[in-house]
């Protein structure tokens, strides 16, 4: 790469590291006052519309956003598993007491759950991958059994976030098998809009009431999630996938939790206890091991890389 391109790669990687790592903090601030499903649904609908407008202007028309029926079904499934069940349940878990750093560490196990899906399908990963998965679940046990988010609450929030991680992993795993537009930005637009609408509908169905009488910090955090978490962060990620080695891009999977824990401690005074440090270190190391082992080309089995369209 020429120096200028190398500088752009570093800048885009820094954006993905910091911005996506900070979204857990933003969610925590928003759900302290606003209902989780409805507020996050509005976040994704707004972000999807903004990105759609940008693409339409750049393409001089809305034709770029056209979908077939199968593509509509595929993007709707991603909206269900990623924004609704993935992000939406994380916001509920944080509202019920999980700290932002703790939630990020639990979500970090998603690449490990993908390996479990591969095993269920009969795809045997490398031995190093299996060691990483086993190590990761040891760290997960430390987090859930001993950590409980460094706070005085039940294990329920942890289980909610873990289910969210499983849904995120499922959506990521089946994505290559779905009928989707070839343009990843178009996929992101419809994934966010459809997922956001489903989140708003779910929020209304469970009795959430969204008003405009929230503190300014709530609106600033929600705006940050829309602009930086969804639009800027995703754009940087897609550009990285096209311009940098995927093994380098994949490092966000184990850097984001570290950023989230640090920001939660710095801004929200979230406690960092020994179970958080021990369990989190084990989980992050396990994810790094799995990604490192799977980035080497194989003849038969697919490469486990986080090439999913992350709508965090």
pLDDT of 276 reads 86
What SS3 class is residue 104? Answer: helix
Angle formed by the axes of helices 110-120 and 156-174, nearest 10°: 60
pTM, whole model, 2 decimals?
Answer: 0.87
Comparing CA positions, the residue from 147, 49, 36 lying closest to residue 85 is 36
Q: Give the C-alpha separation, 110 to 136, whole Å.
A: 10
pLDDT of 147 reads 64
Supply 300's token pair: 């038969």
User: Domain spans of the chain?
Assistant: 3-294
Supply 194's token pair: 């459809």
pLDDT of 299 reads 46
Q: Walk along the chain (312 residues) and give the pLDDT tens digit of each residue.
A: 444 466 788 888 899 999 999 999 999 999 999 999 999 999 999 999 999 999 998 877 888 899 999 999 999 999 999 999 999 999 999 999 889 999 999 999 988 998 899 888 888 888 888 998 999 999 888 888 776 544 545 688 989 999 999 999 999 899 888 999 988 889 999 999 999 999 999 999 999 999 989 999 999 999 999 999 999 988 888 888 777 776 677 788 889 999 999 999 999 998 888 888 898 899 999 988 888 887 665 544 444 444 444 556
Q: Give the C-alpha separation, 55 to 119, whole Å.
A: 39
pLDDT of 311 reads 54
Phi-psi region of 260 (alpha: psi -120 to 50; beta: other; left: phi over 0): alpha
Q: Phi and psi of 152, rounded to 5°?
A: -95, 80
Q: Phi and psi of 224, rounded to 5°?
A: -60, -40
Q: Phi and psi of 254, rounded to 5°?
A: -115, 0
Angle formed by the axes of helices 252-268 and 274-294, nearest 10°: 160
């Amino acid at each position: 790469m020429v120096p200028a391109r190398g500088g752009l790669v570093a800048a885009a990687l820094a954006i993905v590291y910091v911005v996506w790592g900070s979204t857990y903090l933003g969610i925590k601030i928003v759900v302290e006052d606003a209902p989780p499903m409805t507020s996050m649904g509005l976040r994704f609908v707004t972000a999807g519309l903004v990105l759609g407008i940008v693409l339409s202007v750049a393409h001089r028309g809305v034709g770029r956003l056209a979908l077939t029926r199968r593509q509509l079904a595929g993007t709707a499934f991603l909206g269900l598993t990623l924004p609704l069940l993935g992000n939406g349940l994380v916001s509920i878990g944080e509202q019920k007491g999980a700290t932002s750093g703790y939630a990020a560490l639990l979500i970090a196990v998603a690449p490990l759950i993908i390996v479990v899906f591969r095993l269920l399908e009969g795809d045997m990963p490398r031995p190093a991958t299996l060691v990483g998965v086993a190590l990761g679940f040891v760290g997960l046990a430390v987090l859930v059994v001993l950590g409980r988010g460094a706070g005085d609450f039940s294990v329920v929030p942890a289980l909610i976030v873990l289910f969210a991680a499983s849904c995120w992993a499922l959506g990521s795993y089946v994505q290559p098998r779905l009928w989707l537009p070839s343009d990843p930005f178009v996929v992101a637009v419809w994934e966010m809009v459809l997922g956001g609408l489903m989140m708003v509908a779910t929020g209304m169905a469970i009795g959430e009431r969204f008003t405009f009488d929230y503190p300014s910090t709530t609106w600033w955090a929600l705006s940050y999630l829309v602009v930086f978490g969804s639009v800027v962060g995703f754009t940087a990620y897609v550009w990285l996938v096209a311009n940098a080695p995927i093994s380098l891009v994949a490092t966000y999977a184990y850097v984001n939790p570290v950023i989230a824990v640090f920001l939660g401690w710095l801004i929200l005074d979230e406690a960092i206890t020994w179970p958080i440090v021990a369990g989190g270190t084990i989980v992050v190391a396990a994810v790094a091991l799995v990604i490192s082992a799977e980035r080497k080309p194989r003849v038969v089995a697919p490469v486990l890389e986080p090439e999913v369209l992350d709508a965090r």
